[in-house]
């Protein structure tokens, strides 16, 4: 972009900015079932945005200069510790999002492992259904990630597999991670058993409750059978719960809770051997906006405890109705069953045997202005579509179910999205290390991700999803990086 020589009136600039959102998916209204979390409460987004704007320039780097930061953060952490049964001495911090919370949880574990004399390359052990954020953490922190298979029916990690891996890896295991629930299938791992196995070997357990941490306690209050998953479970040393998910606040806020302050200190960083101000950071960011935490604090207070309960009741009611409806649709099945408000839907039967392709289903739903998220097959886990059901989904649930029924009927007997076997063989032969930018661009064009217009997914994306699924993971990661490299091409 080129800056205008003379500045322009703010109203006109803001109107241009708003105009850029015309192609964005709507963040409210319940038609987008991933990435967004709409409480469906009138006035709530406005309250959050007002706090975000008002605190946008407050620098949360230094709570001694901006004491409001400490008050807001300690308030949010205290609320979450009560909700998630933090024992005496438990503590926490506010981060910018789930990934930052996960990275800092892994950092705290690595530091604790080092303090205890750990030698060699430390290992993070988690089910294959654990979030990619932990792979990123291992990558950034020079640790090895070992993933464990899950039971292909329940989608939960098997306790015996954790036990065997702990024994096999021995003293290099610095952290065991479990999900409550997993993003892909919405099921809670056996937290109690895994944490106790880990504790017996002196290994801390992190519960990734980024997406369920602010839902499950309310589901329990609503009388649901929620397995023990929180800080009251012996062996659980840290837990992440995102405010910008089911805390219904604007993006940029998550909670990372710890069993004790000494363990938390591993996530902190201080450096004062330079001539500038002594730096002490509780998070990866240094200068950071207090806006997201102020917004989360505001949203929590505007909703109140009853409001959170009511919002989560709407979300789980909508989930129940969707689950019941999908179970009744020929050719589809609900994976799991889910433990909270996330639903994964797979084909019931193979191609030609009545099974509906989830990728084709997602396209059909897209044509009806619903976004449900395709998830590729992974080992022996089938391709699925993911639904993040939210309170606002209750108002649209009848329409959603009717559209799902029609879309599934239209997919019945239709061929599944797949890749030509010749192309698959060629993809399998590719070595990601030798892929140059030109080959990557050629492959992306072949996949339909880049063409004449700006890079992006075509409106009908089932064939692209199938291609992504068929490509070996290391090649696919290389191509995805190449795709984003093209997507983020400077406008100059
Ligand atoms: C279970 C889980 N962990 C971690 C994350 C990462 O969170 P974020 O996208 O806020 O970085 C997510 C995101 O959906 C998640 O569902």
| Total-model pTM | 0.97
Q: Whose Cα sits closest to atom 10 in ligand 1?
A: 98
State which of 34, 183, 388 you would mutate to test the pocket of ligand 1, scoring each by most atoms of that ligand within 8 A of its C-beta: 183
State which of 33, 182, 242, 256 you would mutate to test the pocket of ligand 1, scoring each by most atoms of that ligand within 8 A of its C-beta: 242
pLDDT the model gives residue 446:
82
Q: Whose Cα sits closest to atom 7 in ligand 1?
A: 98
pLDDT the model gives residue 384:
98
240 CA to centre of ligand 1 in angstroms: 9
Angstrom distance (rounded) from CA 10 to CA 6: 12
pLDDT the model gives residue 438:
87
pLDDT the model gives residue 20:
96
**pLDDT tens digits in sequence order for the chain, 492 residues long:** 999 999 999 999 999 999 999 999 999 999 999 999 999 999 999 999 999 999 999 999 999 999 999 999 999 999 999 999 999 999 999 999 999 999 999 999 999 999 999 999 999 999 999 999 999 999 999 999 999 999 999 999 999 999 999 999 999 999 999 999 999 999 999 999 999 999 999 999 999 999 999 999 999 999 999 999 999 999 999 999 999 999 999 999 999 999 999 999 999 999 999 999 999 999 999 999 999 999 999 999 999 999 999 999 999 999 999 999 999 999 999 999 999 999 999 999 999 999 999 999 999 999 999 999 999 999 999 999 999 999 999 999 999 999 999 999 999 999 999 998 888 888 888 888 888 888 888 888 888 888 888 888 888 899 999 999 999 999 999 999 989 998 999 999
SS in 3 state form for the chain? CCCCCCCCCHHHHHHHHHHHHHHCCCCCCCCECCCCCCCCCCCHHHHHHHHHHHCCCCECCCCCCCHHHHHHHHHHHHHHHHHCCCCCCCEEEEECCHHHHHHHHHHHHHHHHHHCCCCCCCEEEEECCCCHHHHHHHHHCCCEEEEECECCCCCCECHHHHHHHHHHHHHHEEEEEEECCCCCCCCCCCHHHHHHHHHHCCCCEEEECCCCCCCHHHHHHCCCCCCCCCCCCCCEEEEEEECCCCCCCCCCCEEEEECCHHHHHCCCEEECCCCCCCEEECCCCCCCECHHHHHHHHHHHHHHHHHHHHHHHHHHHHHHHHHHHHHCCCCEEECCCCCCCEEEEEECCCCCCCCCCHHHHHHHHHHCCCECEEECCECCECCEEEEECCCCHHHHHHHHHHHHHHHHHHHCCCCCCCCCHHHHHHHHCCCHHHCCHHHHHHHHHHHCCCCCCCCCCCCCCHHHHHHHHHCCHHHHHHHHHHHHHHHCCCCC
Q: Which atom of ligand 1 is nearest to the CA of 131?
A: 3
pLDDT the model gives residue 363:
97
**Phi, psi angles (nearest 5°) of residue 364:** -65, -40
Q: Which atom of ligand 1 is nearest to the CA of 254?
A: 10
Q: Which atom of ligand 1 is nearest to the CA of 102?
A: 4
99 CA to centre of ligand 1 in angstroms: 6
Q: Is the CB of 308 under 6 A from ligand 1?
A: no
State which of 99, 140, 253 you would mutate to test the pocket of ligand 1, scoring each by most atoms of that ligand within 8 A of its C-beta: 99
296 CA to centre of ligand 1 in angstroms: 17
Q: Is the CB of 99 under 6 A from ligand 1?
A: yes
Q: Is the CB of 102 under 6 A from ligand 1?
A: yes
Please write the tens of the pLDDT for every residue from 260-286.
Answer: 999 999 999 999 999 999 999 999 999
pLDDT the model gives residue 126:
98
pLDDT the model gives residue 402:
98
pLDDT the model gives residue 59:
98
251 CA to centre of ligand 1 in angstroms: 12
Q: Is the CB of 242 under 6 A from ligand 1?
A: yes
Query: Which domains, from first to last, does the chain contain?
Result: 52-298 (3.40.640.10), 421-487 (no CATH)
Peptide bond before 303: cis, by omega within 30 degrees of 0?
A: no
Q: Which atom of ligand 1 is nearest to the CA of 245?
A: 10
State which of 106, 124, 189, 210 you would mutate to test the pocket of ligand 1, scoring each by most atoms of that ligand within 8 A of its C-beta: 210
For 484, the token pair is 């984003």
Q: Is the CB of 181 under 6 A from ligand 1?
A: no
pLDDT the model gives residue 347:
98
131 CA to centre of ligand 1 in angstroms: 7
Q: Is the CB of 98 under 6 A from ligand 1?
A: yes
211 CA to centre of ligand 1 in angstroms: 6
pLDDT the model gives residue 412:
92
Q: Residue 440 in contact with residue 392, Cβ under 8 Å?
A: no
């Amino acid at each position: 972009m080129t800056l205008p020589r003379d500045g322009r009136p703010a109203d006109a600039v803001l109107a241009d900015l708003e105009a850029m959102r015309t192609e964005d998916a709507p963040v409210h209204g319940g038609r987008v079932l991933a990435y967004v979390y709409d409480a469906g409460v009138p006035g709530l987004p406005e309250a959050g945005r007002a706090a975000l704007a008002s605190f946008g320039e407050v620098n949360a780097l230094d709570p001694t200069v901006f004491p409001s930061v400490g008050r807001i953060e300690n308030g949010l952490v205290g609320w979450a510790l009560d909700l998630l049964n933090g024992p005496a001495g438990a503590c926490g911090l506010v981060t910018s999002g789930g990934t930052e919370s996960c990275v800092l949880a892994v950092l705290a574990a690595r530091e604790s492992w080092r303090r205890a004399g750990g030698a060699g390359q430390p290992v993070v052990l988690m089910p294959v259904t654990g979030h990619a954020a932990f792979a990123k953490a291992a990558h950034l922190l020079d640790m090895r990630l070992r993933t464990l298979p899950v039971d292909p029916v329940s989608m939960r990690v098997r306790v015996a597999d954790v036990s065997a891996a702990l024994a096999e890896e021995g003293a290099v295991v610095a952290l065991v991670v479990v999900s409550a629930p997993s993003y892909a299938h919405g099921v809670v791992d056996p937290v109690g058993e895994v944490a106790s196995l880990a504790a017996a070997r002196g290994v801390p357990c992190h519960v990734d409750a980024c997406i369920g941490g602010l839902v499950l306690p309310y589901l329990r209050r609503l009388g649901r059978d929620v397995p023990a998953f929180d800080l009251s479970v012996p062996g659980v040393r840290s837990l992440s719960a995102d405010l910008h998910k089911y805390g219904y606040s604007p993006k940029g806020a998550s909670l990372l809770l710890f069993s004790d302050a000494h363990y938390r200190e591993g996530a902190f960083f201080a450096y004062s051997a330079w001539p500038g101000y002594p730096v002490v950071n509780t998070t990866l960011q240094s200068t950071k906006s207090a806006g997201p935490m102020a917004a989360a604090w505001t949203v929590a207070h505007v909703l109140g405890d009853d409001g959170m309960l009511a919002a989560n009741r709407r979300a789980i009611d909508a989930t129940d109705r969707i689950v019941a409806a999908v179970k009744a649709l020929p050719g589809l099945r609900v994976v799991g069953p889910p433990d909270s408000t996330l639903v994964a839907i797979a084909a019931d039967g193979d191609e030609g045997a009545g099974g509906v392709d989830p990728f084709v289903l997602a396209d059909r739903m897209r044509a009806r202005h619903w976004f449900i998220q395709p998830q590729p097959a992974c080992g022996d886990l089938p391709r699925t579509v993911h639904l993040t059901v939210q309170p606002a989904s209750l108002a649209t649930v009848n329409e959603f179910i009717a559209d799902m029924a029609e879309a599934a009927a239209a997919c019945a007997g239709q061929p599944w999205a797949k890749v030509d076997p010749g192309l698959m063989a060629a993809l399998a032969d590719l070595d990601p290390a030798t892929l140059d930018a030109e080959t990557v661009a050629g492959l992306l064009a072949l996949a339909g991700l880049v063409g004449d217009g700006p890079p992006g997914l075509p409106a009908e994306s089932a064939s692209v999803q199938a291609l992504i699924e068929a490509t070996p993971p290391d090649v696919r990661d290389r191509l995805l990086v190449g795709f984003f490299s093209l997507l983020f091409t400077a406008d100059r």
